[in-house]
Amino acid sequence: MDLDKDELHHIIQRAIALKNSPMLHNDSLQHKTLAMVFEKSSTRTRVAFEVAMTQLGGNSIFLASADTQLGRGEPVEDTARVLSRMVDFITIRTFEHSKLELFAKHSLVPVINALSDDYHPCQLLADMQTYFENRGDIQGKSVTWVGDGHNMCQSYMNAAQQFDFQLTIACPEGFDPEPALLAARSAHVRIVRDPHEAVRDADLVTTDVWASMGQEEERKKRLQIFADYQVDEEMMALAKPDALFFHCLPAHRGEEVSAAVLDAPNSVVWEEAENRLHTKKALLEFLCQK
């Protein structure tokens, strides 16, 4: 939400250009350093950031917070002040979104959300690129979110406003997105409890794990509550015939998505994962030019 619509479209188009013309792998980030503070696990986000910096001629430093003084109680504000005097951008994956905002407030350089409990915006850049590449502009399209109203869902809500598509959310009661965010996005977002009803005529269907990082203890309970929310072939058959399926990954086949849907031809999850790299490159270049 810190980037306007034109800036977001510019990043998507640049990501597509970088993907299609590997010769654009220039040295635009030469001598630049990205610090990566991670308090949660990651495969895609970490590798995408590190490879992006390498391909653009810069450097990255991975900081598992437990190995830093942050993990021993040095205040977030002080860590931000120190790191931002040495590096050109910082990315953070953490639990409380407020920690990320506090970090950004005290940083002298751009701070990128690599996932918090509330949002996962970098994933949405990759998702938007994937839609644009496969089907063209997402403006006016019908997107259905099936599952937990957590970080990925809330980033879809923000994307619905920024990219002007209609988002239908099918989540069990008690797992809704933040009411204030729902109210703020009401022109683009609605909740439909029945997932089969929600996917009807969708251009894109997407979901995420039922128990996110930090919710491991609730996993057993969540498996029961979300049991009717699996995206399977029967559910996908209600969407438009050419509807795409997205998943930010990692996926749990047999839980939020059936193996048949995840591995079907209209599931573009591997492309979506690859696009994490291209959108990271475009985002880092953009922040560098600002």
| 248 part of the active site | yes
123, 129, 154, 230: the active-site residue: 123
DSSP code, position 177: P
Could you tell me where the beta strands, DSSP code E, fall in 94-236?
111-113, 142-146, 166-170, 189-191, 204-207
Angle in degrees, 0-180, between the axes of helices 5-20 and 151-163, rounded to the nearest 10: 100
CB 271 within 8 A of CB 247: no
- The tokens for 199 are 């996917």
212 binds ligand NVA (CB under 6 A): yes
Query: According to CB under 6 A, which one of 213, 223, 238, 288 is a site residue for ligand NVA?
Result: 213
To which residue do tokens 């001598």 refer? 31
Query: What binding mask, one character per residue, do residues 241-270 give for ligand CP by CB under 6 A, x or -?
Result: -------xx---------------------
Phi, psi torsion values for 191, nearest 5 degrees: -105, 130
Give the shortest CB-73-to-ligand CP separation in angstroms: 26
43 binds ligand CP (CB under 6 A): yes
| 253 part of the active site | no
Distance CA 158, CA 164 (A): 10
207 binds ligand NVA (CB under 6 A): no
Count of residues that bind ligand NVA according to CB under 6 A: 9
Q: Between 133 and 208, whose beta carbon lies closer to ligand NVA?
A: 208
Q: Segment 146-205, which members bind ligand NVA (CB under 6 A)?
A: 150-152
Distance CA 263, CA 257 (A): 10
| 276 part of the active site | yes
Query: What binding mask, one character per residue, do residues 122-161 give for ligand CP by CB under 6 A, x or -?
Result: -x--------------------------------------
Query: According to CB under 6 A, which one of 143, 239, 248, 282 is a site residue for ligand NVA?
Result: 248
Could you tell me where the beta strands, DSSP code E, fall in the chain?
33-38, 59-64, 89-93, 111-113, 142-146, 166-170, 189-191, 204-207, 244-247
Q: What is the contact surface with ligand CP in residues (CB under 6 A)? A: 42-45, 115, 123, 248-249
Q: What is the contact surface with ligand NVA in residues (CB under 6 A)? A: 115, 150-152, 208-209, 212-213, 248
Active site residues: 93, 120, 123, 208, 248, 276
